[in-house]
Chain A
């Protein structure tokens, strides 16, 4: 059973605020990912990490940043939120050394910027 947690579940906040979306996993997975998903649309990869101190930008241009100081924690930060950032943000993790292991997802953070 996958254990990956995202907080907050929902956030409504004004333009210009700094926001951090939290993601933690208790499985010791090395790889972690952030996706952005608009309603009825596909998942777009915005950041990923191969392990501690590793961060990479995904395919979708994003004004967010991430850090990976600990294996279990992969927070996403928006320095100055804008209405265009309104979306659902999904965090995922997977393990590479065990072979064929799927990516597991958290329940997501639904973000609304006013």
Chain B
């Protein structure tokens, strides 16, 4: 059965801290791995990763994929209260279906 597991389930940090969120997967027919940020409404897209070892960056956020060990990490440096959200990891299969993890709930305290 295809599955995506995220850890930790929740995390509380102070502003300025650096956090690392983990996503491991066991799927057949992997196509890509995606990270989303979800606040009150719909998930908003952060990164799509298809190749191992190539870091993607956007401001204070970065992510990398390891297709051999079947995991990805999402790093957030110098966290701000606006980073508080649920971070979702999803794997896209070659059938174009998406498998989502349960998410990591991040709370950043001022």
A residues with a Cβ closer than 8 A to B are: 31, 33, 35, 40-45, 48, 50, 58-59, 90, 94, 96, 100-108
CB of A105 within 8 A of CB of B43, answer: yes
The majority secondary structure among interface residues of chain B is: strand
Distance to closest chain A CB from B9 (angstroms)? 10
A107 contacts which of B41, B90, B99, B101 (Cβ < 8 Å)? B41
**Majority SS at the chain A contact face:** loop
Most buried by B among A41, A42, A105, A107: A42
Q: Report the number of A-B residue pairs with Cβ-Cβ less than 8 Å.
A: 49
B34-A103 in contact (CB<8A): yes
Residues from chain A with a CB closer than 8 A to the CB of B36 are 105
Interface pair B103/A45, CB less than 8 Å apart: no
Contacts A31-B96, A50-B96, A102-B48 given; does A108 touch B41 at CB 8 Å: yes
Q: How far is the CB of A113 from chain B (nearest CB, A)?
A: 21
Give me 18 other A-B pairs in contact (C-beta within 8 A), A35-B100, A44-B100, A106-B42 excluded.
A40-B105, A41-B102, A42-B88, A43-B90, A43-B100, A48-B96, A48-B97, A58-B97, A100-B48, A102-B34, A102-B45, A102-B48, A103-B34, A103-B92, A104-B45, A105-B36, A105-B44, A108-B42
